[in-house]
Amino acid sequence: GAVVSQHPSRVICKSGTSVKIECRSLDFQATTMFWYRQFPKKSLMLMATSNEGSKATYEQGVEKDKFLINHASLTLSTLTVTSAHPEDSSFYICSVAGPSSYEQYFGPGTRLTVT
C-alpha cells in the first residue's frame, strides 16, 4: 500500500490563530485524498474529499471557510484550520485513495490542541 505521512504529528496553538496540517503521499501519486476528524473515543468522521487541481468536496455540516483544503500536487494536500477554537481540538487523519478507488491508505494523524 501507499506510504502516507502527516506533519506535524502534534500541534498546540492559541485560540484565534490558524494552523496548517500537511498530508503527503510518499510513494504514490494521489489524485484523491480524504480528511477525517476523530474525537476522543469516537469513530472517524469524513470532513472532505480533496481532489488534485480542483476544489475540495465537503461533507454536510463541515464549514469550508473554517477548514481550508488545498490539493495543489499529486503528493500533497493541506488542511488549514482557520481562527481555531478549543472545540476544534481533535485528531485529524488524512488518507490517500489507492489505484483501486475503494482502497484508502491512512496517515499517522495529527493531534491538534487549541488553548
Which residues in this chain contact another protein in the complex, by CB under 8 A?
1, 4, 6, 34, 42-44, 46, 49, 91, 93, 95, 97, 101-109, 111
CB atoms within 10 A of CB 60: 4
Please state the closest distance from residue 84 (CB atom) to another protein, in A: 20
Please state the closest distance from residue 108 (CB atom) to another protein, in A: 4
**Phi, psi of 88, rounded to the nearest 5 degrees:** -85, -10
CA distances from 15 to 2, 48, 81, 88, 93 (A): 35, 23, 11, 10, 21
Q: Which is nearer to another protein, 46 or 83 (CB)?
A: 46
- Evaluate whether 79 touches 20 at the Cβ level (below 8 Å): yes
Please state the closest distance from residue 44 (CB atom) to another protein, in A: 5
Q: Which is nearer to another protein, 18 or 42 (CB)?
A: 42
